[in-house]
Structure formats: C-alpha cells, structure tokens
Chains A and B, each alone.
Chain A
Amino acid sequence: MDLSLSEEQQQITDSAATFLAEAAAMPAVRAASESAEGLDRALWRAMAELGWCGVHLPESAGGLGLGLVELVLLQEQLGRRLACVPFFDSVALAATALRGLPDSPLAQDWLERLAAGQAIGALTLPAEHGGAACADGLPSAVAAPEGGWTLQGGWPQVGSAAMADVLLLPAQAASGETLLLAVPADAPGLRVRPLATLDATRRMAAVRADGVNLPAASCIGRGPSLDALFTQVRQLGAIALAGEQVGVAQQCLDLTLTYAAQRSQFDRPIAGFQAVKHRCAQMLVALESARSAVYGAACIADTAPDAATLLFHAAQARVAATEAAQFCAREAIQLHGGVGFTWEFDPHLYFRRAQASSQRLGASPWWLEQVAAQWLDTPEENP
C-alpha cells in the first residue's frame, strides 16, 4: 500500500511540467484564449507527437497502455497552465467512452484517430449522467426504414465541440432506448455554434441537429450497457477533471507565493505577514490533500473496482479537488490585492476555470448525495 509516485510517474510529471512551461507559457495561453477558435494547434500537435492523446488507451488502439494515474498526472500539468487544448474533452471523455465500445468498428476507428491526436472528439452525456440538460429532453433518433438514423434536437453545452472532428451525442430512439451516435462534424444538417464562455481557455458550443441523416453504424452504443458506460465515463472523467483541478490549485498557490515575495508594504514583503502566511499554508493543505485524494482515487480506478467503490472514490477526488481549486483561486485573487482584480494578472483566469470545472459532470452536492446514499440509505444496523 503506497500512493507515492513511482520513478516513471515522477518522470512523466517532470517532463510534462518542463514541456508545458515553455509550450504553454502564459502569453501563448492568452493568445489562444483570445483567438476565435480558442485552440493552440501547435501545442496540440506537439502533445499528439508525445503520445499524450493515447496515454491511458490500449496499445492495440495506438495508445501508450498506461493508466488513469498517468492521465491524471498530465491533466494536472495541463491544468496548471490552463493549456488551450481539448485534452479533457477528447482524451479523458470521448476516447474513454470509445474505448468502452469494442463492438463498434466505427467507435474503434475514431478511437485510433483520437489516440493519435489526429482527430478531436467531443462527448456530451445525458443530463442524468452529468451532462448539460437539454431543454426539450434528449434529442430524438428516428430509425429510417432503409436503415440508419435521423437525428433531431439540440445539446445546449458541449465541451470543445466547435473544434471537434467527431461528436458523440446521446439521443433517444422511439422505443425510449438511449443511443450514442458518432456524428462527423461536417454532417449535413449539423450546426455547431461556439458559445462565448467566461472561462475562455475551455470552449463550449451549442450543437443542433436538424434532420441529420446517419448510417446505421453511427449508433455506436445502446441500451443498459450504454447506461453503464456513461456511469463509468462520468466517474473516470471526474477523476481526470479532478487532476486538472489540482493543477489549477497548484498554480494559484505558486502565483501567490511569487507575488507575496516581491510585493512590499510597510517596508517588508507581504509574504512575511502571518495573515498572508497562514492563508498560503491553508492553500497548501487544500492542495496537498486534494492531490492525495485524486492520486488515491486514480490508483483505485486502475484496479477495476466494483461500481460502488469507483463512485465513492470519484466523489472523493472530485469534492476535494473542487474545494482546493476554488479555495486557492479565491485566495489567489485576495492575496494579490488590487492587481488580483485586474485583467492583466493571471488569478482571474484560474478563478474562471475553477468555477467552470466545478460544474462539469455534476457539482459537489451531487457527488456528496451519492456518498450519503451509500452510507445512510442502507438497512438499519444495530450499532
């Protein structure tokens, strides 16, 4: 029993940190976040060449064959830099879903392209699995008489959809069954409208299908097994997202320490004031405990645990990392003082990301309620 990083895991962390310090330095991040597309293509290509897009995917799909722990370590470094790449949406969510659909040749085809970083995927989950709720319920997929599907409806908020090559969209068949459809971004009748996001470093788009006709093979998953897959993708995705949130918290602390050391008031650096020191130490506590929670959860997830165990640990990672990212981002603004309120200084970018991330795949109250049900809604036992 040991949750410290192995030598290889430490190497992944260190080399990713070094690479991103240069490749995703803040001027590049700001430039990408202010661009129309919101994507740093050069960085994305470089990451693909490093094999990152297939980090946790099987070697048979062109991946590196590593685990969720390694995915989390990359996510952490990407979160530190707010790198403007669709890593979370395409690799942690879409590719993880495709990996769980071995019976669909189309899914496996897209998986290989996603693993290689040659294509970008975007996945949205049904509302009951943590996706953004569709105003009129899940869009419909009507079976065409000659085979194939006609897709009708809208998905209001899909991460990285405007830069995606393939959209993985849940829809409801006339039978009431939920389907997952792989829809090419250029399918006629599909409209992907970029949304202006408060966190401009991770884009969202509204997706609308008006009579999009798809071949039968576009349905890559359905029924109860799809439901189980959605559950699993949400939980693994939550742990991956939590890794990113740890990176956000880390950078907020680092920015604050640097600022507090150089900012002088009353003829001394403010880092010497106990009021500042204690806040930084509390950031450290939140950060390090969240890191422990996330590494622990990822390590458990890699042992193929039962559903209840995975749910508990996903909640553990998610709740701790959300708290850490939000606390550290708030404190970073406060401890930067007046400049923390400016556009020019970076804390607000992390503050925005911390909030946006806290709402994806279900916010903390949802995760807490799942754990409450595990602990409290079991039959009465005699103490």
Chain B
Amino acid sequence: MNLQETGAERAFRAEVRTWMAAHLRGDFESLRHASGLGSPGYEPALAKRWEQQLAAGGWTGLGWPRQHGGRELPLAQQVIFHEEYVRCGGPGRLGHIGETLLAPTLMAHGTPALQARFLPGILAGQTYWAQGYSEPGAGSDLAAVRTRARIDPDTGEWVIDGQKVWTSWAHESDWIFVLARSEPGSVRHKGLVLLLVPLRQSGVTLRPIRQITGDAEFNEVFFDGARTEGALHLGAPGQGWAVAMYLLGCERGASTLGQQAHFRAELEQVVAVAKRNGAARDPLLRQRIAHAALGLQTLRSHALRTSGDNAPARAASIGKYLWSNWRRALGELAVDVLGAEGDIAGEDPLRQALQRLWLVSRADTIYAGSNEIQLNLMAERALQMPR
C-alpha cells in the first residue's frame, strides 16, 4: 500500500495542468466544463477537433502499449491525467468507445493488419466508433442477438441485416462494431461474429431515440443489406461471443478511475447549490451530502485497491455496481438540494446541470450490465453460488 505521490507524479500533474491551460482556450472555450453530447456548448465538430488537439499533445492512448503508439503510462499517471483534465474544465470525451473499448479488444483479438488499419485513427482522434450490441429483443440477455451476417459469395463481403438499439452517438460516429449471428440456425453464445462496419453507407439507417432528458444521444441502427469487407471481423467467425465479452470487460474495468474526477465535479456542483440556497443548513441534507463525499472517496479507494486485482471479474462487477448506484443517489440528492426550484426548467446553468444529472444518472444502473446482471455476476462468479 502506498498513497504518497512521487516527485515524478507531481511533475506529471503540473505538466497536464500547464498543457490544459495553454490549449483549452480560444475556439475551445465553449467546451470548458461541458460534460458531453447534449450539454450546452458541446458542439460535436468542435469536440472532435478538441480530441485531435489532445492527440497532438500526446494525451490519447496514455495506457496503450508503446508498440501501438501509446505512452504505456502506469495507472497512477493515468488517474492523475483524468483528475487534472477535469479540474481544468476538460470537456467530456467523444472518443472513449474507440479508445477504451475497441482499441484494447483490437490489441487482444485483432490481426496485425486490423490493428495497423484502425488503431492510428483512434489514437489521432480521427475515427469515431459506436457500439452495436443491444437489440430490441437482446438487452440483458445479449446472447439472444438476431442480427444476421453472411458472406456474399460474389464479393467476399459480409452482408448484415438486423437492428441494434441504444447505440450511443451513432450519428457522430464513423464505424460501428456489430455482434451478429454468422451461422444460420445457431443459438445463444455460439455462431456469433464481431464485425467492424462503416456507418456511412446506404444499407445503414439511423433513427435517434429521444431519451429521458429530452436529448437524443442514443440511436436505433437498422442494417438492411449493409456491407463490410470480408476481413473486418475480430476473432474467428463463430467465436464472436468471447471477443464481445472481452470488450465488455474493458467497459467495466479500468475506465472508472477517470470517471471519478467527473463525479467530484458533479458533487461540487451539488455543494455549490446547497450553499447558495440554504440546503446546506438542513440537517438531513447535510448528512446525505457528507455521505456522498465519503462514498466518492470510497470509490477511489476501491479502484486503487482492485485495479491490480487478480480476480478482475469480481472487482469489476463490484466497482460498476458501486459507482453507478453512488451516482444515481447523487442525482436524487441533487434535485432534493434544489428543492421546489428543481421542477422549474431554467436558464441557470448550475440548476440545469443538476437536473440533467438527476435524469442522466438513471441510466447508470441500467447500461453496461444492469444492477441485476451485476448482482448475478457477483453471486455466480465471485461467490460461486449456483446458477
């Protein structure tokens, strides 16, 4: 155990701060503190330019191996980057599906040719990815996917038919990875393939889903004879399930430490409102705010204790359950702190942020494995209780 920051780590912190101060300005000023798509001031084209600026500064692929163009930084420095990034007002990241989900899966399961083709675009902030997993009939039961993929014998291309849903940011993405059934008549986990499919083609139709916040970050994606090259599959055709699960492991894993810097900023917004409107003097709200502050510290301690864990399935499910329920409770606290004012849609940016947090955080315990799925995973994998 060791929580002392080394001299090198302190220097790295200062380096991030200096770079952010020098670059998050001018054209990028409107992105400052914007949490992501749907939040005021977050213009997608500008956000992509910001990603490219980050890449040029060497702030993408921090944990990637050097052979793939990454910086291979230790976890502590990755955490420091995320902390300082948020502290300096860095906006929500647009490229994280590519950078933190697809890229590690490409490194583990992709051919050198696929790695060489796709990793540089992700690293440079040039190529954006969407995730094609869930379907109307396959949510928590992901193995029920029905989207079909077959090889066109004339062209050797994959031809895809079916529908995906809850696809984040598909309208701002260039490519989508699609879990599809490549062996007709196969059931459940067998006979699946994970394909890399260009989104901008005539066989793909996007339909935005208006969500609980009123925004439309999610899409339905319809594949109607959509095509991709024959070589663009991750892992062997028929073995897609294992690859898809590897990718989900990335989602539940290391990325949570970076999130916590955002969570802290959100908690500070709640505190700011409580001080402003007098909720800070309410004895019960005081207890809840304190509880949230302690809980956030515990998320951090938990991540630092388990990030090098040799039982990642156990740690990852616990971590996901912890942070998502913490943040959902923070959303509830946020509107309770607002009080009656919380019902009034308004121009005040702080109030808007808390209202948005309240609604957005309802998704946290549903996506990336719902609370109920996480509890099943913990019971069956960590506690070895019977299925």
Residues of A within 8 A of B (CB): 1-6, 9, 69, 257, 260-261, 268-269, 271-272, 274, 276-278, 280-282, 284-285, 288-293, 295-297, 299-300, 303, 312-313, 315-316, 319-320, 365, 368-372, 375-377, 380-381, 383
Q: Is the CB of A296 within 8 A of B4?
A: no
A376 to B289, CA, bound (A): 9
Q: Is the CB of B308 within 8 A of A285?
A: no
Q: List 16 A-B contacts (CB under 8 A).
A: A3-B304, A4-B308, A272-B386, A281-B382, A285-B378, A290-B298, A292-B305, A293-B302, A300-B3, A315-B290, A316-B294, A370-B290, A372-B286, A376-B271, A381-B272, A383-B268
- Interface residue tally on B, bucketed by range: 35 or more
Whether A6 and B286, one on each chain, are in contact in the complex, defined by CB atoms closer than 8 angstroms, is no
B205 to chain A, nearest CB (A): 38
Q: Provided the pairs A2-B1, A285-B321, A319-B291 are in contact, do residues A278 and B372 lie with their beta carbons within 8 angstroms?
A: yes
* A320 CB contacts on chain B under 8 angstroms: 294, 298
Residues of B within 8 A of A278 (CB): 372, 375-376, 379
Cα A9 to Cα B375 in complex, Å, equals 29
Partner-A contacts on B (CB < 8 A)? 1-5, 9, 75-76, 79, 268-269, 271-276, 280, 286-287, 289-291, 293-294, 297-298, 300-302, 304-309, 318, 321-322, 350, 372, 374-376, 378-380, 382-383, 385-387
Check if B2 sits within 8 Å of A285, measured CB to CB: no
Q: Which residue of A lies closest to B387 (CB)?
A: A272
Across the interface, do B383 and A375 meet the contact criterion of CB distance under 8 Å? no
A368 adjacent to B383 (CB under 8 Å):
no
Given A3-B305, A284-B382, 17 more pairs with CB closer than 8 A: A2-B308, A3-B1, A271-B385, A272-B385, A277-B379, A281-B376, A281-B383, A292-B298, A315-B290, A319-B291, A369-B286, A371-B290, A372-B290, A376-B271, A377-B280, A381-B275, A383-B276
Contact between A375 and B375 (Cβ–Cβ < 8 Å)? no
Provide the bound-state CA to CA distance between A62 and B307, in Å. 36
Q: Is the CB of B1 within 8 A of A257?
A: no
Complex: chain B residue closest to A67, CB-CB: B1
Verify B294–A2 contact, CB threshold 8 A.
Answer: no
Q: Which residues of A contact B375 (CB under 8 A)?
A: 277-278, 281-282
A1 with B383: CB separation less than 8 A: no
Q: Shortest 6 CB-CB distances between A and B: which pairs?
A: A296-B301, A277-B379, A383-B272, A292-B302, A372-B286, A371-B290
Contact A312 B304 (CB under 8 A): no
Give Cα distance in the complex from A183 to B266, angstroms: 52
Q: Main SS of the interface on chain A?
A: helix
- Bound: A299/B154 CA distance, A: 64
Report A-chain residues with C-beta under 8 Å of the C-beta of B1. Answer: 2-6, 9, 69, 295, 299
Is there contact, CB below 8 Å, between A383 and B350? yes
- A300: chain B residues at CB < 8 Å are 3
User: Contact: A3 with B301, CB < 8 Å?
Assistant: yes
Neighbouring A residues of B307 by C-beta, 8 Å: 2
Indicate if the CB atoms of B290 and A369 lie closer than 8 Å. yes
- Complex Cα distance, B291 from A371, in Å, reads 8
In the complex, what's the smallest C-beta–C-beta distance from A21 to chain B, in angstroms? 20
Distance in angstroms between the alpha carbons of A342 and B128 in the assembled complex: 60
Q: Which residue of A lies closest to B268 (CB)?
A: A383
- Is there an interface contact between B301 and A293, defined as CB atoms closer than 8 Å? yes
Q: For A291, list chain B residues within 8 Å (CB).
A: 305
Chain A's closest residue to B302 (CB) is A292
With contact pairs A260-B385, A320-B298, A371-B294 given, residues A295 and B305 touching in the complex (Cβ less than 8 Å): yes
| Measured CA separation A288–B380 after assembly (Å) | 16
Given known A-B contacts A277-B376, A292-B305, A299-B1, A372 and B298 have beta carbons under 8 A apart: no
- Chain B hits for A274, CB < 8 A: 376
CB–CB B304/A376 < 8 A: no
Q: How far is the CB of A303 from chain B (nearest CB, A)?
A: 6
CB within 8 A of B298: which of A268, A293, A365?
A293
Q: Please name the residue on chain A nearest to B301 by beta carbon.
A: A296
Please tell me if the beta carbons of B76 and A1 are within 8 angstroms of each other in the complex.
yes
Q: Bound complex: CA of A319 vs CA of B9, how far in Å?
A: 31
Q: Are A315 and B385 in contact (CB under 8 A)?
A: no
**Complex Cα gap A4–B5 (Å):** 16
Whose C-beta in chain A lies nearest to the C-beta of B353?
Answer: A383
- The answer to whether B304 touches A368 (Cβ under 8 A) is no
Which of A280, A295, A370 touches B385 (beta carbons < 8 Å)?
A: A280
List the B residue with the shortest CB-CB distance to A377.
B280
Do A288 and B385 touch across chains, with their CB atoms under 8 A apart?
no
**Identity of the chain A residue whose Cβ is nearest the Cβ of B309 in the assembled complex:** A4
A260 CA to B301 CA in the complex, in Å?
31
CB <8 Å contact, A299 and B318: no
Q: How far, in whole Å, are A293 and B305 apart by their CA atoms in the complex?
A: 9
A223 CB to nearest B CB, Å: 31
Contact between chains at B301 and A292 (CB < 8 Å): yes
Residues of A within 8 A of B350 (CB): 383
**What residue in chain A is nearest B279 (Cβ atoms)?**
A376
CB distance from A335 to the nearest CB of B (A): 12
Chain A residue contacts of B275, Cβ below 8 A: 376, 380-381
Known contacts A6-B1, A369-B286, A376-B286; decide if A293 and B297 are in contact (CB<8 Å).
Answer: yes
Most chain-A Cβ atoms within 10 A of its Cβ — which of B275, B290, B375? B290
Structural contact, B271 and A375, CB atoms closer than 8 A: yes
B75 proximity list for chain A (CB < 8 A):
1
Q: Assess whether B3 is in contact with A299, with CB atoms less than 8 Å apart.
A: yes
Name the one of B3, B287, B304 contacting A365, with C-beta atoms under 8 angstroms: B287
User: Are A371 and B379 in touch, CB under 8 angstroms?
Assistant: no
Complex: A268 Cα to B379 Cα, angstroms: 17
Question: Smallest Cβ distance from B184 to chain A, in angstroms?
Answer: 33
Q: Separation in Å of the A271 CB from the closest CB of chain B? A: 5
Give the CA-CA distance A235 to B54 in the complex, in Å. 43
Contact of B300 among A5, A260, A296 (CB under 8 A): A296
Chain B residues with Cβ under 8 A from A276's Cβ? Answer: 385
Give A280 to B79 CA distance when docked, in angstroms.
31
